[in-house]
Amino acid sequence: MGGAPAASAGGRCERPPLIPRVAASQGGGMLGKGVVGGGGGTKAPKPSFVSYVRPEEIHTNEKEVTEKEVTLHLLPGEQLLCEASTVLKCVQEDSCQRGIYGRLVCTDFKIAFLGDDESALDNDETQFKNKVIGENDITLHCVDQIYGVFDEKKKTLFGQLKKYPEKLIIHCKDLRVFHFCLRYTKEEEVKRIVSGIIHHTQAPKLLKRLFLFSYATAAQNHTATDPKNHAVMFDTLQDWCWELERTKGNMKYKAVSVNEGYKVCERLPAYFVVPTPLPEEDVPRFHGHGIPIWCWSCHSGCALLKMSALPKEQDDGVLQIQKNFLDGIYKTIHRPPYEIVKTEDLSSNFLSLQEIQTAYSKFKQLFLIDNSTEFWDTDIKWFSLLESSSWLDIIRRCLKKAIEVIECLEAQNMNVLLLEENASDLCCLVSSLVQVMMDPHCRTRFGFQSLVQKEWIVGGHCFLDRCNHLRQSDKEEVPVFLLFLDCVWQLVHQHPPAFEFTETYLTVLSDSLYIPIFSTFFFNSPHQKDANMGREGQGAQSKPLNLLTVWDWSVQFEPKAQTLLKNPLYVEKPKLDKGQRKGTHFKHQRQLSLPLTQSKSSPKRGFFREETDHLIKNLLGKRISKLINSSEELQDNFREFYDSWRSKPPNYHGLLLPHIEGPEIKVWAQRYLRWIPEAQILGGGRVATLSKLLETMEEVQRLQEKIEERHHSQEALQAEAASLLRTSARLSSLFPFALLQRHSSKPVLPTSGWKALGDEEDLAKREDEFVDLGDV
């Protein structure tokens, strides 16, 4: 092997690199028979012959690869910062250097890998593609952690590096994991790309330096749809008056413009709603603190309110002034027996932001999997790891708190006042969940998007801080909005016909948190947005920037892909056959939550099938001791209300409560597991059922069209969705994000416990049994 080039420090080559390829030693190969030998029943030694080929000589499926330049598509205002060639995007398999060669680039918007054979992927017509973010694109805001591999050791990368890694691992906030091998990349390019990625994803930023503003400036002449076509934006007094009229709250509450121009409080929106008896001059006294702000009114006339707490003071005189002020406010809203108010202090007797942050930090590690061995090793400890994260328990507590508030509104006819320090985190969460459960309008796509605008965007949730878009404080990063979406997913999962949108809609909405061409999730308050968009304090010659809203889904998806965001099984009117609906509903849920048994499996089943079955059952949601909350533990009023609702058939256009017992709270599999090949169920899962239902619906629609001899546009869209599902060759349970099983999902045996599993020959037979069944 004298022709091998000399390598520089770190294993990199000075001239075009040569990649070692070890010849296969399976029977039938030249090396297996002629060079190595190994008869007589003895174990053949490791192959010693190594051939060296250049990266451009590597080919797949025995086809000659022609070199071609892959085009980097840039958005308006996007600039290329650095790049590296001859980068290998590795397949996440154990000790395997298989993958795709290409260029790794970093712009001021994203990290992108441009592979040499992406044409094969582009030909997949059923791919659920995002027009803004490609399969191998990572927005800078989506990067969670960066790791480097040095001599097979994985280390976190940050700041200035003295030594550069031979492999780069990027963990994303949408739970994707990318492996880039830099061993064959020029050393200067490695330094440039690694330093650039670390700096542009981890260094603290100024708000004005976000790509959001570069894009808005460059795309000023681009036409955008009116955001009011997609949601009520709640940026005008008329929007609030419309919401008051819709909920019949205009008899007791009024929309005010006292904060127009944000002259009272920059934290509050320009327009909001307060109780009618409240004097408007009281609002500025403590800069909007201590003022009950209306969220929503239910059919009984009771209302859900929120209030930010008054700042803590040490001076006795100021404390007395605050007390007198709050007494006056309380008398305004609490006038028994006509108006009774119950206060829920979410800052003291509910979750803390620290609990949410800690729980999610542990929970997400279950899904940031580097390789197959790690997946199956953690699967053995799945229950204990899931329980110790407390994430599912936090979801259950949020749903339970929302039900408690609903019980006060619905059963006790009491107003509920949610109290929090700034009324911008847990108040947003609880008030939104209450409205989703009580108001069927909020279960339509337009209504849900309007709800998020009202309670989260205009309500002042600090998305800039909670998503850590500026990378200024990890302590402020808390996934409160993601927790809300996970709670809504539990409802969508338990009551699919009640929602006009799908779980795919919720998943892409969570992904949109990190796409900085939409202004929706990149500001802490409406004031901050208006001040930085040129809508406040600018001269007449200054034209305000017009940013896109995330609710215009045509920016991200083609019409065919958008059909997957709409639920074709949505029940627009209540069904008459209540008994049948009840039976279907309860039977289905209880089948999914059978208690986990400890009985040994039949020896006929085989190890691999048994492990895969356990994985599937675990992901569907099983009984975990910490999550079980029996009805006896609930308060008497709450228990009576909750049990009474559960005893009746669900009304999809009325009150809709979640089942909160331990086994009913499940892992949001589509979002958290969509990038893990081992977690997929080929041809199975809920998508298989949905595909069959849509196929049946399409057949019924065709018959209906023949009878009526007319076509409906909505029916055509539903038929298109059915076609999209049916034409996919092998659907995955994680469709549409994981269409095909590209890599082996065969579990890797753990290093311990071999004796209990049987000898190697028996294991090989069981493995063959699993593979044969999996290929059917």
Q: Domains, the chain, ranges and CATH?
A: 80-118+127-203 (2.30.29.30), 237-535+545-565 (no CATH)
Among 169-183, 456-470, 589-603, the minimum mean pLDDT is found in 589-603
**Residues 725, 709: Cα–Cα separation, whole Å:** 26
The H-assigned helical ranges of 439-502 are: 445-452, 463-466, 480-494
Q: What's residue 170's pLDDT?
A: 97
Banded model confidence at residue 546, pLDDT cuts 50, 70, 90: confident
**In terms of pLDDT, which residue wins out, 372 or 204?**
204
Banded model confidence at residue 112, pLDDT cuts 50, 70, 90: very high
Banded model confidence at residue 539, pLDDT cuts 50, 70, 90: very low
- Average of pLDDT values for 226-232? 89
**Residues 187, 10: Cα–Cα separation, whole Å:** 9
- For the cut 50, the answer to whether the pLDDT of residue 319 exceeds it is yes
* β-pair partners for 169: 147, 179
**In terms of pLDDT, which residue wins out, 21 or 72?**
72
Q: What's residue 164's pLDDT?
A: 96
**In terms of pLDDT, which residue wins out, 430 or 585?**
430
**Residues 81, 155: Cα–Cα separation, whole Å:** 25
301 CB neighbour count, 10 Å cutoff: 15
Banded model confidence at residue 659, pLDDT cuts 50, 70, 90: very high
**In terms of pLDDT, which residue wins out, 762 or 584?**
762
- Average of pLDDT values for 190-203? 97
pTM for this prediction = 0.81
489 phi and psi angles, rounded to 5 deg? -60, -35
Q: With beta carbons less than 8 A apart as the criterion, state whether 222 and 554 touch.
A: no
Q: What's residue 535's pLDDT?
A: 57
Torsion region of 176: left, alpha or beta (phi above 0 gives left; psi -120 to 50 gives alpha): beta
- For the cut 90, the answer to whether the pLDDT of residue 349 exceeds it is no
Mean of the per-residue pLDDT values for the chain? 79
509 CB neighbour count, 10 Å cutoff: 23
Banded model confidence at residue 459, pLDDT cuts 50, 70, 90: very high
Upstream peptide bond of 5 is cis (omega within 30 degrees of 0): no
The H-assigned helical ranges of 80-233 are: 119-122, 187-202, 211-218
- For the cut 80, the answer to whether the pLDDT of residue 455 exceeds it is yes
Q: With beta carbons less than 8 A apart as the criterion, state whether 176 and 674 touch.
A: no
- For the cut 80, the answer to whether the pLDDT of residue 110 exceeds it is yes
- For the cut 90, the answer to whether the pLDDT of residue 39 exceeds it is no
**Residues 204, 613: Cα–Cα separation, whole Å:** 45
Q: What's residue 92's pLDDT?
A: 66
Among 86-90, 315-319, 598-602, the minimum mean pLDDT is found in 598-602
Q: What's residue 680's pLDDT?
A: 83
Q: What's residue 416's pLDDT?
A: 97
- For the cut 70, the answer to whether the pLDDT of residue 593 exceeds it is no
In this structure, is the dihedral angle defined by the CA atoms of residues 441, 442, 446 and 450, taken in order, positive or negative?
positive
Q: What's residue 650's pLDDT?
A: 87
Task: Report the percentage of the chain scoring pLDDT > 70.
Answer: 72
Among 116-120, 197-201, 422-426, 629-633, the minimum mean pLDDT is found in 629-633
Among 222-231, 361-370, 674-683, 745-754, the minimum mean pLDDT is found in 745-754
- For the cut 60, the answer to whether the pLDDT of residue 480 exceeds it is yes
Q: What's residue 69's pLDDT?
A: 61
- For the cut 90, the answer to whether the pLDDT of residue 620 exceeds it is no
Which residues 6+ apart lie within 8 Å of 500 measured at CB?
Answer: 443, 444, 445, 566, 567, 570
User: Rounded to a whole number, what is the distance in angstroms from the first to the last CA of the chain?
Assistant: 45
- For the cut 50, the answer to whether the pLDDT of residue 594 exceeds it is no
Banded model confidence at residue 562, pLDDT cuts 50, 70, 90: very high
- For the cut 50, the answer to whether the pLDDT of residue 590 exceeds it is no
